[in-house]
Structure 1
Amino acid sequence: MITALIALIVILLLGSVPIFVALGTASFLAVILFSDIQPMLLIQRLVGGLDQFALMALPLFILAANIMDGGGLSKRILRFARALVGHLSGGVAMTTQVSSMFFGALSGSGPATVIAIGKIMYPELLRGGYSKSFSSGLLASSGAVSLIIPPSITLIIYGSVTGVSVGSLFIAGIGAGALFGISSIVYIYLYAKRNQIPKDKKATKREVLETTRKAGWALLIPIIILGGIYSGMFTPTEAAGVSAVYALIISFFVYREMTFKKFYKICVESAVTTAQVLVLVAAAQVLGWLLTRGQVPQLIATFIAENISTPILFLLLFNVLLLVLGMFIEGVAAIIVVAPLVFSAAVALGIDPVHLGIIMIANLAIGMYTPPFGLNIFVTQTITKTSMKEMLPGVLSFLGFNLLALLIITYIPDVSLFLLKILE
């Protein structure tokens, strides 16, 4: 049955069938045609796969991200970031990167970050003397960091699949996400110096204070989320609800850029996005159950135990697998399929499960803008109207620096775990 299941998935994916349809259809056909399992069990698993407390945070964080974009929070974060770094070499591009890191911390969504920041910053980048290729590569790569910086939807999915604490993953994502962003900032600085890109006028102390004051309400959200989780005031799921309500209050009563008509539209968009993610999760949970029933994870764990004796070699092969997979499969689907297969073997080799999750998410963040099928590339193209050929040099340049950050995250665990150790 397992051979038929895998063959069906490959055939459907090669036929450009949507991933959730490929996973669900292949699972049902394999059960009906090649096993004696009652099809009703698949329906139970389909529904049961969504019956997880951690998944309740998904629609709330998605709603919070959309409220932040529609309520004017992203604009104020951009102004704040530009006041901080605009006067440096590569200041406008650094503003884009830093803003993406801040907005990623608020939204947890790569495509949402690309759209929210890109619509505003792409014209600014072109006016600042940056090429279309560089600017497109920057937007695609900077949006990917939101997969790592908490609150990240992908971290929530990893936690729900493996049972690892979502709160611990959020804390570990801070150091790894910061390093990921810094690696891009280093390239931005070198590019601006080499191409003699003009700098912004340095903001005065008064301007810095003013932009900080205006962005302060938005910048409080990550503090509320992470501080609330680690003070014991609320769980990650409750934090998602708090962030959505907080963003709504700020958008309506402080920034006053939210209307009931706009809020209704945001709710509809959030519901559609949530449905897309959860349908994929449900289909992948069925696949995971069938693979487990066929003892595929156990076979993989046995193979790894017999052939891979060191964590260094395991993590190297793990990175290669995920980088290749990330070119073709969306991050949430990759986590649900791969994490259960390698989790036990990685833990048996002494790899910290939180560290493993951060490595996995960092790989998938790179996959978000890796040709040919990285989702952020297509989202960026809707903003920049550039072809793949035109984007490619810029994308590959950022890719090289981010891969270096990935190696550091992989082989120096304290980059991710030092905050957890401090908080223990």
Structure 2
Amino acid sequence: MLGNVLSTGEASAILFGVFFTLMFLRVPVAVALGLACLPISLIEPHLGPMMLLGETFNAFNSFILLAVPLFLLTANLMNIGGITDRLMTLARSLVGHFPGALAQVNVVLSIFFAGISGSSTADAASQGKIFIHAQVKEGYDLSFSVAITAVSSVLAVIIPPSILMIVWGGILSVSIGGLFIAGILPGLLIGLVQMATVHFYAKNRGYPTYERTPWRETLCALAKAAPALATPGIIIGGKIFGWFTPTESAAVAVLYATFLSVFVYRELDLKGAGTALLETGRLASSALFCVGTASAFGWLLAYFKIPEVILSGVVGWEMSRTETGFFIALVFLVVGCFLDAIPSIIIVGTLLQPISVAAGMHPIHFAMVGIVSLAFGLVTPPYGLCLMISAAIGGISIRAVLKDVCLMLLPMLGVLALLIMVPDVALFLPSTLTPDYVR
């Protein structure tokens, strides 16, 4: 940093000042991050626009991040190829007799879909089209239907394979296989509390319940959905046994989804394949553009040693591991309201990593606390991308849905608190199945 024109304070003021000003003007987050880097690149003679462009390209030029579009393509192939329909039939057979039947199916299908897609926005878009208006027709309140669809969609970034886990592992050098296994138990616990929340709503508001499905029909639905349910097993099992890397597992998932859609369920044609590719390109370009601009922003933070200045006071607090966990969760909960999860990991995750190390948090435990906390940001204003998508599909304002969303988030916060206080919620399965991942 010797010979720089700008001091640390001046650089941070320009970076964050320009960024938050652009955010206030409703410039997209990824674009705002990139534009915030430009003034410093022009002022500082040691830097320059081309250097920042090079840092952005370096972020894109990652074999690990190739898994992002591949998992998105898997999800789109499954939607178009009839696989999601089979999973929905199975979910209805399993939980259709619970109070709030269709909403319960919504949550269970999100659990199934999370094990395939890794993208909450893809889940919110597909589930919203399936469930929101269907629930309203059956007598559910519109605000509740939108809220449960948005909130259940966050499971896709907690239950593996998760795009956030891939980004976290690639940026912070944490075992992605370990993160995949660590996300199973917290994800299922959050899914269970969401089902309990639906039960509470259904009992209080008299939402409808279906007849119990006969065992024969349930077994038939399970048989039809079994090939699709094998997808998460292939992805996670391949990582556990060392058969392939996360990116290779994503490629295998695409091939498997194509095989199921074309040869088993026979619902995927050339037009459907083209639609899946176009939708994948749209979603993947948005996610990866965020990675690139956030990486350039994070590189400038590191160049001017801004994280060291910010953390110098925090390290002196000498917090315990549990206190550090709650502090990390609070930071990610607040940041997640304003930033997309991927740039939050790149910028804030790297800031908080030294604090977690100083407190003795295991890297996988730290990652799961961060990822679960960031999942809340997908349904909290002003960013709340999954909430925006679900509200747009339902044709209702976000303000009208907020009360139900907040009520649904309360028990989920309880799971987050449990995860912070009991690290084994995240570490038990990795330490049992693959001890090498937690050493």
- State the TM-score, normalized to the length of structure 1: 0.96
For the pair 1:283 / 2:293, whether they are aligned, the reply is yes
CA shift, 1:382, in A, is: 2.6
Residue 206, structure 1, aligned to residue 216, structure 2: yes
Match of 2:7 in 1: none
Q: What is the Cα deviation at residue 392 of structure 1?
A: 2.1
Q: Name the residue aligned to 1:293.
A: 303
User: Which secondary structure does the structure 1 equivalent of 2:335 belong to?
Assistant: helix
RMSD over aligned Cα, in angstroms? 1.6
Aligned to 2:93: 83
Preserved contact between residue 172 and residue 417 of structure 1 (Cα < 8 Å) = yes
User: Does the alignment pair 1:328 with 2:338?
Assistant: yes
Match of 2:321 among 311, 329, 333: 311
Matched, 1:32 2:32: no
Runs of 4+ in 1 over 3 A off after TM superposition: none
Q: Which 5+ residue runs of structure 1 have no aligned equivalent?
A: none
Q: 2:234 aligns with which of 201, 205, 224?
A: 224
What is the aligned residue count? 424
- Between the aligned partners of 1:331 and 1:185, the Cα distance in structure 2 is 25
Give the conservation status (yes or no) of the 8 Å contact 2:118–2:156.
yes
1:173 maps to 183
1:139 aligns with 2:149: yes
**Equivalent residue for 1:114?**
124
Residues 205-236 of structure 1: per-residue CA shift (max 9 Å, x gap): 11001110111111110011001111111111
1:307 aligns to what SS in structure 2? coil
Q: Secondary structure at the match of 1:49?
A: helix
Q: Corresponding residue for 1:190?
A: 200
Cα shift at 1:34: 4.2
> Does the CA contact (< 8 Å) of 1:134 and 1:393 recur in 2?
no
Contact in 2 for aligned 1:76/1:215 (Cα 8 Å) = yes
Aligned residue for 1:329, secondary structure, equals coil
State yes or no: 1:99 paired with 2:103. no
For 1:318 and 1:347, the matched residues in 2 are separated by 12
Deviation of residue 128 (structure 1)? 3.7
Structure 1 residue aligned with 2:225: 215
| Greater shift in the superposed pair: 182-191 or 171-180 | 182-191
Aligned to 1:351: 361
Identical-residue share of aligned pairs (%): 35
The letter for the 2-side match of 1:378 is M
- Given that 1:57 and 1:237 are in contact with CA atoms closer than 8 Å, whether structure 2 keeps it comes out as yes
Is 1:417 matched up with 2:427?
Answer: yes
How big is the shift at 1:38? 4.1
Report the residue type matching 2:62 in the other structure: Q
Tell me what 1:20 maps to.
Answer: 30
Structure 1 window deviating more from structure 2 (368-377 vs 143-152): it is: 368-377
Q: Against the structure 1 CA distance between its residues 221 and 261, is the aligned structure 2 distance closer, same or farther, given a 3 Å change threshold? A: same
Q: Which has the higher mean CA deviation after the structures are superposed, 224-233 or 373-382?
A: 373-382
Are 1:156 and 2:171 an aligned pair? no
Q: 1:311·1:350 contact (CA, 8 Å) conserved in 2? A: yes
Confirm whether residue 342 of structure 1 aligns to residue 388 of structure 2: no
Q: Is contact 1:23–1:284 with CA below 8 Å preserved after alignment?
A: yes
Give the conservation status (yes or no) of the 8 Å contact 1:145–1:181: yes
* Counterpart amino acid of residue 344 in structure 1: P
Which deviates more, 390-399 or 199-208? Answer: 390-399
The SS at the match of 2:316 is helix
Find the counterpart in structure 1 of residue 394 from structure 2.
Answer: 384
Structure 2 gaps of 5+ residues are: 1-10
